Amino acid sequence: MAIELLTPTQVDEMRPAGRFVGEVLTALQEAADVGVNLLDLDALAHRMIKDRGAESCYIDYAPSFGRGPFGKVLCTSVNDAVLHGLPHDYVLRDGDLASFDFAVSVDGWVCDSAVSVVVGEPREEDLRLIEVTQQALDAAIAVARSGNKVGDISRAIGDVACANGLKVNLQFGGHSVGRTMHGDLHIANDGRPGRGVPLKPGLVIAIEPWFLHTTDEIVMDPDGWTIRSADGSRGAHVEHTIAITDGDPIIMTARS
């Protein structure tokens, strides 16, 4: 496994990509509303990429688990869809739970982030699910420090899930990032503390907990991309790209 450690100068060079990803997700949160089409949200992200001179990590993405190339610049997962949602002709409805996942390359450096929101009148259980997923991300970032190991991040996420009665799917999780979107390092959303790859200054990773209300089983849509809960329950997904340092981790994709 080849894991790249960046110099402090390279981490600084990566910051514009993180800021831009944060700006786009903020714009998407503001634009997402009842009556808005998912294709319009993808078009908004596409325009912002073009205006910035950035490069989408998704549009030509064709991994083994998808039916590629993806063809869009944004993942839009709604209600029982939780990951890799392919934007399509769907108009958001009152109470929809939507997750937006976005990654781009700016000046050759990649950052990746995701956010979940409810449009219109929310269900209390959906707001709670988003809150717990964010708590898991916060807990993971808190232990993402030099001297700890990847297993500590995974366990922090799993502990939050367990404390809130949620099951954890281990098929998809976080990953290292740098010049490409998906590096060799996989970060499961549950694991054993003190195990795995050591966290060292210069390691840049995307941490992305995602939970479903009542299951950890998933199914794939006929589009070959959109991943849904097997029982129809709703899901939430949040993600930040962070850099490990000698002190506190840097949240590269922080949103205003």
> Any idea which of 1-5, 42-46, 98-102 has the lowest mean pLDDT?
1-5
pLDDT confidence of 1, banded at 50, 70, 90?
low
Q: Tell me if 127 is assigned to some domain.
A: yes
Beta-carbon contacts of 96 under 8 Å, excluding residues fewer than 6 positions away, are 34, 78, 79, 118, 119, 120
Q: Any idea what the CATH number is for the domain that residue 201 is in? A: 3.90.230.10
Give 10-56 pLDDT, tens digit per residue.
999 999 999 999 999 999 999 999 999 999 999 999 999 999 999 99
Q: Token pair 């399509």 is at which residue?
A: 88
Q: Tell me if 1 is assigned to some domain.
A: no
Q: Taking a C-beta distance cutoff of 8 angstroms, is the pair 189, 170 a contact?
A: yes
Question: Could you give the number of structural domains in the chain?
Answer: 1
Domain range for 246 is 8-251
Q: Looking at 67-187, which runs of residues are DSSP E strands?
A: 75-78, 81-83, 97-106, 109-118, 174-176, 186-187
The CB-side HSE value for 104 (13 A sphere, CA atoms) comes to: 30
Give 125-179 pLDDT, tens digit per residue.
999 999 999 999 999 999 999 999 999 999 999 999 999 999 999 999 999 999 9
The CA dihedral of 214, 219, 222, 225, to the nearest 10 degrees, is: 90
Retrieve residue 35's tokens.
């009556």
pLDDT for 191 beyond 70:
yes
Q: Tell me if 256 is assigned to some domain.
A: no
Q: Tell me if 38 is assigned to some domain.
A: yes
Helix (H) or strand (E) holding 145, with range, is none
Helix (H, G, I), strand (E, B) or coil at 90: coil
Give 221-252 pLDDT, tens digit per residue.
999 999 999 999 999 999 999 999 999 999 99
Q: Tell me if 42 is assigned to some domain.
A: yes
Q: Is 240 known as a binding-site position?
A: no
Q: Is 124 known as a binding-site position?
A: no
Residues constituting the chain: 256
239 secondary structure, DSSP code? B
Q: Is 239 known as a binding-site position?
A: yes
- The predicted structure's pLDDT at residue 68: 79
Strands of 227-229's sheet, edge to edge?
81-83, 227-229, 218-220
Q: Is 175 known as a binding-site position?
A: yes
Cα separation, 43 vs 73, in Å, equals: 8
The CA dihedral of 125, 131, 135, 138, to the nearest 10 degrees, is: 160
The CB-side HSE value for 152 (13 A sphere, CA atoms) comes to: 13
Q: Tell me if 122 is assigned to some domain.
A: yes
Q: Tell me if 3 is assigned to some domain.
A: no
Q: Tell me if 210 is assigned to some domain.
A: yes
pLDDT confidence of 102, banded at 50, 70, 90?
very high
Q: Is 182 known as a binding-site position?
A: yes
Retrieve residue 123's tokens.
């269900």
